[in-house]
Structure 1
Amino acid sequence: MMKKIPYLFILALGLLGACNQGSNSATSTDAISLTVKNPADFARKDVLLKVDISRIAAKHPGFDGQGYRLTSGADLPFQLNDLDADGAPDEIAFLADLAPNEEKTVSFVRLGEGESLPEFKKRTQAELSHKTGGKWEDRKYIGGDFQNVQSLRVPPEHTDHSFFIRYEGPGWESDKVGYRFYLDWRNATDIFGKKTEDMVLQRVGLDGFDSYHEPGEWGMDILKVGPSLGIGTPGTWLGDAALRVETTDSVFCAIPLNGVVESMIRTRYAGWKAGDQKVDLTSELTIGAGSRMTRNDLTLSAPLPNLCTGLVKLDNAAVLKDDGSRPWGYFATFGNQSLAEDGLGMAILYRQSDLIQVTEDKNSHVVVLRPDQNKLTYYFLAAWEQEPGGIRTEEAFRQYLDDTALELGQPVSIEIN
């Protein structure tokens, strides 16, 4: 039986072969394919694969990713990602299922005249919505209506509970789970537990500022964050406590991707006061279809001794750790720790080579990590027992984490033919 394994962010690993251009026969942009190889002895479902368009164009001049279907026996869900918002796609992201040790060919098939792209179910979403048409009074936004936007420079008047941003920050989701973070001085990440595989964020918080704290047909906010790191919140470890990204000169948040298989939120924190240092920090939060995991790619403008993340400390939760034998490790908690008073598993996954220490402060379990050339990548995830097919036992959650860490250490390869 094929196991459900979360997505990976995969880079194309090679460029093989070449095609000569011709005017009447197959041209270099007519015969393009990828060879996708699973190196592991287990199956993978909903693997998110990504290929830079420039690397394909290096072997197939003129290729820009547009006007093609992706097929491997059947059409594969995919999207074109314009990461720098210049109007031209930079990479192709697509989903594939792979059997153990399978090598699969994925072909680019030109659309015929008048042919449209297949429609794929939307399985991820990212959004940012704030009020317009009202006015600021004493750091509260009075009146107005919510409007979704592609980006926002956070106004200086904005703080916690300003009633300006819908559910207080940007949100992102897959067909498994949703997340949000507070786009204010708290800058902490929260969980939206989902009872459905449909996209739901577009209707959360419209009927009342805190309505999502109550159970709804779609789900609810299931985490008590308070002054903690919530789940996966970035920060730095200052001797005996974690410091979130609280004091900054300015914050700019954007939605670069809101696609059928992948979505992203990019936030730039200018002038973060991290102890005695002041640095700029960029965070890119990405989620893929069929996955509970959020990937956080952090970039610093100048070195810091460490970056940290972690999980809120809650009662009734067992602590789970990996055995340290694999390239990717995890720190997790599991128990009746949700605001619905039922089962919730949370985890941080990190490269063992980045780990400085696992520690704690008054509010959080803290994973302290070492940036490499001012960059750091880690993942976080939440598994709520009420999600469709939810994980209900500590043993099942540990097995899921072991499987996930194993897959992160055995990435799928892609060759361009």
Structure 2
Amino acid sequence: MAIFRKAVSLACCVLAVCVMTSEVHSRELRPASASVISAPSAIPWNRQEVVALAEKVGNYQLATMAAGLKPNPSAAYPDPRGWEQGALFVGLMSLADHSSRPEFAAVIRARGQANGWRLGDMINDADDHIIGSSYFWASRHGAGDAAIVPMRARLDEILAKPPVNDLNFVGNGLTCRDRWCWSDALFMAPPVWLEMSKVTGDLRYANYAKREFRATTGKLYDPASHLYFRDSRFFERRGINGKKIFWSRGNGWVFAGLARMISLLPEGDADRTYMERIFKEMAVALIALQKPDGFWSPSLLGDAAVSPPESSGTGFFTYGLAWGVKTGLLDRSTYEPHVRKGWAALVRSVQKDGRLGYVQSISDRPEAVVYDDTQLYGVGAFLLAAGEVADLDLPAPSVVASLEVYNPSRFDQGAAIAQIAMGLPESRAGGWSVETGGAVYPAQYERGILSFVMPIKQHQTLQVSVRPQPAPLPELVHAILNVQDGGKMEDGLLKGGTFHLRKSYQVPAEHFIHDGLIAFEGIGWESDKVAYRLYLDERSVTDIYGKKLPRPILPSIGQNEGDYHVMNDWGQDIFQVDKSLGSGGIGIVKNGKAEQIGPSTIAAEVANTAITGHAIVTHSDFDSGGGSLRAHYKISYGQALTFVDAAATGSVSPFAAGFRHHPGVLLLKGEKSEAWSYFASWGEQALTNDNLGLAIFFKPKDTTGDVRDDGRTYFVTFKDPGHVRYAFGATWVQDLSGVRDLNGFNAWLDSTVDGLNHPVVVKLLSKHDKD
């Protein structure tokens, strides 16, 4: 027998409920969560705070190196005289110049001594020259002239027999790398050559660098785009959108290299003037390509709406722009907002322990990147950027509005989402946040509505300040659509292609279940609490990925590598859909049973904001060929719920929402006396053989009859196919929701439905004219 329950007081779990302003979007749904979101501190802007963050990142990196930990466990440890460590040490030089702590200077001197002040083994290769920059620094800070003697001998050896090969990059590039035939080289070698001239007074080194720089620029610089191709192989290549491929980090190497080179040339030098022109042209192009969130896409001309964050290119660009503003080469009023956006993005890449994430792995082109990816050169880029931002000593953005937020619910809300309609200026830092009691929370301003996420206790009133800067949090919520391009079918599985994130996709008619075309077989959306997917095939229902860690997992799974059906560090696929409506899917009712939609023509798209992920799926030509359904799925930061807003036409069958009926589970039902109610199940219904709670929240006035059980699915039937609105959620005993037992699940249900029925209210107290 179903158990009917009234809401009970919450003793040990802090819950979130839906929130909104009564005047704004009164028909929209807002989610709830069982755990309290954590609050980071604000973005650092002034010199002292920026240097403190750089010290934290630098110390973390040095500690991992001292422990012998590798950025990529499957690769060899980076050569202490190679480019990976060389780029890091260029960043450490900046940190040592800005920090009063002695360990950063000490490690630079110690590395040079351990290396015997030698460059890498490859005589002409630019990658083996960059470590020399740290030798110059050490020479100026206690090591003396002996630190540059072996390096000078190497450069003299090259001058005695300068390479004359052409700059065409063929195969692995070994035939051309004696010269600077790839864009990265312009960061690695020219500053070393120019500084040798500056230190010794011998112009031969500078003349060599100037000549080779002009040759490389003449070969790789695209005058139409004002960007550099990585090498000659990319001249005719095009991305999935048909546009030229300009690699973010490849151009970052050049842009940062130009800043370093220009600083080493005297005013009035013709080659300095030439470099300054290229630098300014690139700066104009780069700020036009910066994403609204402050990052640059791994592929600069790629789709900004779906490209992942990437911190190494962003670090180099932010460094160059900040340096240009500081030196007066770039106009402050034009470029400072882009410096702010880039710096705020970099801060969001720093994890709690100081690890820098979102660094694309070693490559020669744009590739996938996830939050946990880190590399030494990415840290070098971050430290360079931090040094220049510290020198700008920027003021924090001012408060632009003050709000009052009231929680009428009798439950604490751990991750409430609030909304208010208001006019706000443009954010110069690439996002929004709210602050109360010294804690900072993420916000989104879109189409005249400010939305934000924060905890608030029962019957509490809080005063909240609005600032035009993002909260320093990584990307914790999004929807993704990852499709394989190319490849060949082998034993019924598409292999060998490349997965690309898409903003929209029309599923081809020939697609079949388990063919490998679409990563994890569908469209996905996730928060820091849970991840869901919807199969883009004849099943067309939802499934659950249980998450034990808050980081995004969907971008890295289901691409013909790894197995999400077994336990990983982040969790696993914990649910078996079978023939049911899955974990909260939409279906049609036939002969009293809830059926999956079945074969249809499917199109999907994604959209994301700072606090929400949106998946939109359209089905047509189903249910005897006449059915059409458009369903919008939304998840928010800090939440375990997905809200569904769907409309159907042409179907001969009613529509239902439900979840799989596992044998032996406990069915729970909420009261029907208020606008929102629920039905839920609890028990051992996870593939991990432990407890999982499933729930659907709905408005009884929108449905017919009671919750039904056809032996395979618990479901409710909607009166109007054009108005299918509900929410579904899941709490697993190993996830981050905080629900560990039946009592906790009951508390989560009660608080969530109470929040839906008693949303918080947001009022404007005052607005300020300046940010």
What's the TM-score, normalizing by structure 2?
0.46
User: What does 1:59-208 correspond to in 2, within 5 Å?
Assistant: 63=424, 66-67=427-428, 69-74=433-438, 76-80=440-444, 89=447, 91-109=449-467, 111=468, 117-135=470-488, 141-206=494-559, 208=561
C-alpha distance in structure 1 between counterparts of 2:734 and 2:668, whole Å: 21
Counterpart contact for 2:18–2:752, Cα < 8 Å: no
Q: Provide, for residues 368-399 of structure 1, a one-character-per-residue CA deviation record: whole Å limited to 9, x for no partner.
A: 12238x22211111111111464232232122
Q: 1:174 to 1:69 in 2, by over 3 A?
A: closer
Deviation at 1:150, TM superposition (A): 1.6
How far 1:136 sits from its partner (Å)?
A: 6.1
After superposition, what is the alpha-carbon deviation per residue over 1:170-216, rounded to whole angstroms, capped at 9, x for unaligned? 1111221111111111101111011112222222224537x111111
Distance 2:619 2:502 in 1: 19
2:616 is aligned to 266
State the Cα deviation string for residues 37-71 of structure 1 (Å, max 9, x = none).
Answer: 211233212101234xxx424xxxxx465345533
Matched residue, 1:395: 743
Moved more, 130-139 or 387-396: 130-139
* Aligned position for 2:163: none
SS in 1 for 2:564: helix
Which deviates the most, 97-106 or 280-289? 97-106
User: What residue in structure 2 maps to residue 225 of structure 1?
Assistant: 577
1:300, distance to aligned residue in structure 2 (A): 2.8
User: Which range moves more in the overlay, 374-383 or 394-403?
Assistant: 394-403
Shift of residue 286 of structure 1? Answer: 1.0
CA distance in structure 2 between the partners assigned to 1:158 and 1:303 by the alignment: 23
The more displaced of 198-207 and 165-174 is 198-207
Amino acid at match of 1:106: V
Aligned CA distance change for structure 1 residues 385 and 298 (closer, same or farther; 3 Å)? same
Contact map agreement 2:546 2:573 (CA 8 A) in 1: yes
Please say if residues 580 and 595 of structure 2, whose CA atoms lie closer than 8 Å, have aligned partners that are also in contact.
no
Please identify the structure whose Cα radius of gyration is greater: 2
**What is the Cα deviation at residue 12 of structure 1?**
5.4
Q: How many residues align?
A: 379
How many angstroms apart in 2 are the aligned matches of 1:195 and 1:77?
Answer: 22
Q: Is the 8 A contact 2:732 2:739 kept in 1?
A: yes
Q: Which amino acid aligns with 1:376?
A: V
State the Cα distance separating 1:353 from its structure 2 match: 1.6
Identity of paired residues, percent?
27
Mark the CA change 1:204 to 1:262 in structure 2 (over 3 Å): closer, same or farther. same
Which one of 712, 717, 721 corresponds to residue 363 of structure 1?
712
Determine which structure has the larger strand proportion and give its number.
1
Equivalent in 634, 651, 664 of residue 286 of structure 1 = 634
In structure 2, relative to structure 1, the CA distance for the partners of 1:78 and 1:302 (3 Å cut) is: farther
Contact 1:5–1:404 (CA<8 Å) still a contact in 2? yes
SS at match of 1:80: strand
Q: CA 1:252/1:43 → structure 2, altered by over 3 Å: closer, same or farther?
A: same
2: CA distance between counterparts of 1:81 and 1:164? 35
Shift of 1:10: 2.7
Within 5 Å, give how 1:374-413 maps onto structure 2.
374-388=722-736, 390-413=738-761
Are the aligned partners of 1:7 and 1:293 in contact in 2 as well (CA < 8 Å)? no
- Which whole-Å CA distance do the structure 1 matches of 2:593 and 2:555 have between them? 36
The two structures, once aligned, show a CA RMSD in angstroms of: 2.9
CA distance in 2, matches of 1:126, 1:143: 25
Instruction: Give the secondary structure class of the aligned counterpart of 2:662.
Output: coil
| 5+ residue gaps, structure 1 | 16-28, 58-62, 83-88
Q: Do the aligned partners of 2:731 and 2:737 also contact (CA within 8 Å) in 1?
A: no
Distance 2:682 2:605 in 1: 32
Any idea what SS the aligned residue of 1:400 has?
A: helix
Q: Distance in 1 between matches of 2:484 and 2:727?
A: 31
> Distance in 2 between the 1:412 and 1:303 partners?
38
Q: State the secondary structure of the residue aligned to 1:213.
A: coil
Preserved contact between residue 443 and residue 453 of structure 2 (Cα < 8 Å): no
304-313 vs 178-187, which moves further: 304-313
Give 2:410's match in structure 1, choosing from 19, 26, 41. Answer: 41
Tell me, yes or no, if structure 1 residue 315 matches structure 2 residue 670: no
2:443 & 2:512 partners in 1: Cα distance?
35
Of the three residues 571, 590, 598, the one matched with 1:246 is: 598
Judged with a 3 Å threshold, the aligned counterparts in structure 2 of structure 1 residues 317 and 191 are, in CA distance, closer, same or farther, namely same
Change in 2 beyond 3 A, CA 1:31/1:303: farther
Residues 134 and 81 of structure 1: CA distance in aligned 2, closer, same or farther (over 3 Å)? farther
Instruction: Output the TM-score relative to the length of structure 1.
Output: 0.81
Q: Match for 1:170: what amino acid? A: I
3-state SS of paired residue (2:422): helix
In structure 2, what is the Cα distance between the partners aligned to 1:158 and 1:36?
49
Q: 1:151 to 1:407 in 2, by over 3 A?
A: same
**Which consecutive unaligned segments of at least 5 residues does structure 2 have?**
1-10, 26-397, 766-771
Contact kept, 8 Å, 1:49 with 1:94, in 2: the verdict is yes
- Identify, as 1 or 2, the structure richer in helix: 2
Q: Distance in 2 between matches of 1:278 and 1:286?
A: 27
Change (3 A) 1:133 1:120: same
Q: Which amino acid aligns with 2:427?
A: Q
1:312 offset after TM fit, Å? 0.7
Does the aligned pair in 2 maintain the 1:190–1:225 contact within 8 Å?
Answer: yes
